Structure 1
């Protein structure tokens, strides 16, 4: 008999960690990635406004954890408010919010699969979502993970919704040189919040509680890149505040924020041959010995490693992609100083600024798959209708708390 109940740290931790160890995650056909949650199975959801973890338990006398699922709820942008003529209200584009639930971390012990445990966990999680007022639920899975896709689209009623790209770049042993034509400015959380709300709050999936994200201890800062010759790139004290900056912006500019995933979870690449390990180590030795050559090197990913995540990427102007490249270089150096092995981000498949984001194709995923389901009637202010049928936009806002 299978019982699904809420996770209890005092008695379930060992069982949950055992299932995690036996469930490798990562794109099939590539090297397997094992996730280490640093002794806290809730670490990937506890920073959300509302969250829960459920476990599936089997047995009568000797009970065994055979599966688990995590979920969280937040309010995000799902469109823009329109009047009866399908035009922005009062000629001003304003975000339309909805309460969205996210399913992540679904695991079933390999020895107990094909017994309906995953389906039961998802159904129980969706019931909790409904009880807490969520209007939609979505999941992210690898595009070629057929078992996961079949479960959610075939049995749970989800539909394919968005196909963003996960872009991953290694952190080299040398520091990346930044363009001398670009100035990078670090914003305080108040200014960062103002910038995002004023310019990016209508992006799909933008979190209404962006202030909580930017003020979180895992957020390492928000950075703006501007041309060095502009009035904002002339040195310290030149930043006028986000509102003034957006009123009189330079010809081109870009922004991104950095999130410290290293303190939440670690990854480990498994299944690599001895030859690949030797080649990777050789590149690191050469890079450390001759850093002035700026040779790309493969970090040590065959033991637990950490990563930094870049989010809130945006910008404007003909040189915006180059500005993003400078910000990614700055983020790379932060990751190097922080002892991380990779730098990652996730953007819409049609994101125009992605060409400025350095990444290795072998480490990246061109099509991550997001599936969505409508849980009930849409109670949003100025109803958008059924969000699941809306066409994709050029950009999305990926919440770092859910990566």
Structure 2
């Protein structure tokens, strides 16, 4: 909730030159849902005149952030004759994550960070400073909640977003991960033969993640809450056995940590369809017909393993793979097995499975994906909030080999 301290920090209204006053306030689900959904629908992702991607939040504009420990949604509303109208909105979360640094004791260093997502401004009210106002007010809330940094993700081709954040708000280009997407077919993907894939209960998965990957950038301090969430569909451990065949025998997480196999990888799955559905718009009839034909052939002849195109032209659900990490010389092969197994798990429930990996992640080369559905270079921007008294600025640090993408912020 917006407490008294935040109310006093936020101006009640901002008057823009030449237009009616605009009030920035907290989202009210009783009165603001329809107006917020209208702004979300208007702001499709993609170039004008071409194919675009539309997100349907399924009647819950706060759905993308409500699974985070602290969250806030703000709306920009016009005032004046005829009543108010919502013309902009922004969402934000605050949580504690690993910075990739280690303390003198060897323990991972954590920081409170604010994440900005879902910034939208109606076409009729763009270039009026509303987006800047929304960002500034959300940053004030971040600081009140103890966040030392704020960050956001955008497409590197989104010039308007980059002008706002790097040009006017003081953010720096921070990381450039890749978003890899694989469609879900009627036939199953074949994991590497040498891999044994083992499902892990949430408590074992948490123990494994904390023991091996708690130092990875953006690893969430509340990883146990993430793994126990109803939208988390399970964690898979893939182990590479020797060339003589056989399978790996699971003897519990403590035995695994004490005596790990030579090469292994772990991955968890999140059902984004429980929060939003996506839809590709603007595709030609020829594209739709071709995609439909591939699906029909795949259904009746699975043995042909046709690379069928799922029905992305109506609202569809997607799954997201998070916590993808591994160790050993064949870790990339193990990661391929874990990811392929998640794709197989998603059959009948999702149209595509995605994962986001760091630019230098050694696992990325073996992750099966379709290039036309993927984004080779996403862009994360970050800025330090406050005076930075400790002298170290994470926002200006060099990238590491891995990054942990929180599925609650997809």
- 2:98 is matched with 77
Q: How does 1:195-344 map to 2 (within 5 A)?
A: 195-228=208-241, 234=247, 238-338=249-349, 340-344=350-354
- 1:349 is matched with 359
Query: d(CA) in 2 for partners of 1:369 and 1:28?
Result: 21
3-state SS of 1:10 partner = coil
Q: 1:53 aligns with which of 64, 68, 73?
A: 73
Q: Is the 8 A contact 2:234 2:269 kept in 1?
A: yes
Q: Is the 8 A contact 1:141 1:369 kept in 2?
A: yes
- 2:113 is matched with 100
Q: 2:129 aligns with which of 116, 128, 142?
A: 116
- 1:366 is matched with 376
- Unaligned runs of 5+ residues in structure 1 are 83-88
Q: 2:207 aligns with which of 194, 199, 202?
A: 194
- 2:408 is matched with 401
- The Cα of 1:30 is off from its aligned counterpart by 6.3
Q: 2:43 aligns with which of 15, 23, 27?
A: 23
- The Cα of 1:319 is off from its aligned counterpart by 1.6
Aligned length in residues: 389
- The Cα of 1:34 is off from its aligned counterpart by 0.3
Q: Is the 8 A contact 2:192 2:336 kept in 1?
A: no
Q: Is the 8 A contact 1:77 1:204 kept in 2?
A: yes
Q: Could you say if the C-alpha distance between residues 30 and 219 of structure 1 is closer, same or farther in structure 2, counting changes exceeding 3 Å?
A: farther
- Unaligned runs of 5+ residues in structure 2 are 1-20
- The Cα of 1:251 is off from its aligned counterpart by 1.4
Query: d(CA) in 2 for partners of 1:310 and 1:291?
Result: 25
Q: Is the 8 A contact 1:26 1:142 kept in 2?
A: no
Output the aligned Cα RMSD.
Answer: 1.9
Q: How does 1:154-165 map to 2 (within 5 A)?
A: 154-165=167-178
Residues 1:386 and 2:399 are matched in the alignment: no
Superimposed CA distance per residue, residues 141-162 of structure 1 (whole angstroms, 9 cap, x where no aligned partner) = 0000000000000111111000
Q: TM-score, normalised by structure 1?
A: 0.93
- 1:64 is matched with 85
Query: d(CA) in 2 for partners of 1:29 and 1:247?
Result: 57
- The Cα of 1:318 is off from its aligned counterpart by 1.8
- 2:12 is matched with none
Q: Is the 8 A contact 1:28 1:145 kept in 2?
A: no
Q: Is the 8 A contact 1:140 1:370 kept in 2?
A: yes
3-state SS of 2:219 partner = coil
Q: Is the 8 A contact 2:267 2:321 kept in 1?
A: yes
Q: Is the 8 A contact 1:28 1:144 kept in 2?
A: no
Q: Is the 8 A contact 2:73 2:90 kept in 1?
A: yes
- 2:140 is matched with 127
3-state SS of 2:187 partner = coil
Q: Is the 8 A contact 1:135 1:377 kept in 2?
A: no
Q: Is the 8 A contact 2:269 2:319 kept in 1?
A: yes
Query: d(CA) in 2 for partners of 1:257 and 1:154?
Result: 36
Query: d(CA) in 1 for partners of 2:270 and 2:327?
Result: 23
- 1:170 is matched with 183
